């Protein structure tokens, strides 16, 4: 029974990666870390113009759980990144990447957290728009 969700997740991730390649998001590219593992993506975010990150290339790894899309991926920058929502080890901490439902600490609304209808492309489009629209660069990366 545990293989069924992984199979569904695998098919969904294959479709989302194919869609992302067919309809790319400006300033964002993705591929597989290892060809045989659809659950680990290598991503590059290009720093948008008129931000603190302009001209930069920022690499990260997106790791998807076997029960995706019921739970969110994790994102960890492998490039050096200074941002208040990025820990020193590169792990990204933003509301959209927190599990769905109510925040046990009461800091986030359920609507700010992961929702299984989100897609990689939707999330990255919103993040990139947020970065471009922000005079302070990626400060507002988590406002999706």
Residue 21 is among the residues annotated as catalytic for this protein: no
- Predicted confidence at residue 71, as pLDDT, reads 94
Exposed / middle / buried, residue 44 (Cβ in 10 Å: 0-12, 13-18, 19+) = middle
- Predicted confidence at residue 121, as pLDDT, reads 57
Q: Which of 12, 17, 93, 122 is catalytic?
A: 93
Contacts of 120 (CB under 8 A, 6+ apart): 16, 17, 20, 30, 41, 62, 73
pLDDT tens by residue, 114-136: 888 877 755 555 455 444 444 44
Nearest CA among 25, 42, 45, 43 for reference residue 34? 42
CATH number of the domain where residue 55 is located? 3.10.110.10
Number of domains in the chain: 1
The residue behind tokens 């390649």 is 21
What span, in angstroms and rounded, lies between the C-alpha atoms of 80 and 89? 9
For residue 92, the SS3 value is strand
Q: In this predicted model, which residue has the larger pLDDT, 14 or 129? A: 14
pLDDT tens by residue, 32-53: 999 999 999 999 999 988 888 9
Nearest CA among 93, 69, 70 for reference residue 81? 93
pLDDT tens by residue, 81-112: 888 889 999 999 888 888 999 999 889 999 98
Q: Are 142 and 94 in contact (CB under 8 A)?
A: yes
Q: Which helix (H) or strand (E) holds 30?
A: strand 28-32
Q: Are 122 and 136 in contact (CB under 8 A)?
A: no
Structural domain containing residue 43: 3-140
């Amino acid at each position: 029974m545990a293989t069924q969700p992984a199979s569904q997740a695998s098919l969904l991730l294959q479709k989302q990666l194919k869609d992302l390649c067919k309809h790319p998001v400006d300033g964002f590219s993705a591929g597989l870390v290892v060809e045989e593992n659809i659950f680990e993506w290598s991503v590059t975010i290009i720093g948008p113009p008129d931000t603190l990150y302009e001209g930069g290339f920022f690499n990260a790894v997106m790791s998807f759980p076997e029960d995706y899309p019921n739970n969110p991926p994790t994102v960890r920058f492998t490039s050096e990144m200074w941002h208040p929502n990025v820990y020193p080890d590169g792990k990204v901490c933003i509301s959209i990447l927190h599990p769905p439902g109510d925040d046990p600490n009461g800091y986030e609304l359920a609507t700010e957290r992961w929702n299984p209808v989100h897609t990689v492309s939707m999330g990255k489009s919103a993040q990139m728009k947020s970065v471009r629209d922000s005079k302070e660069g990626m400060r507002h990366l988590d406002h999706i």
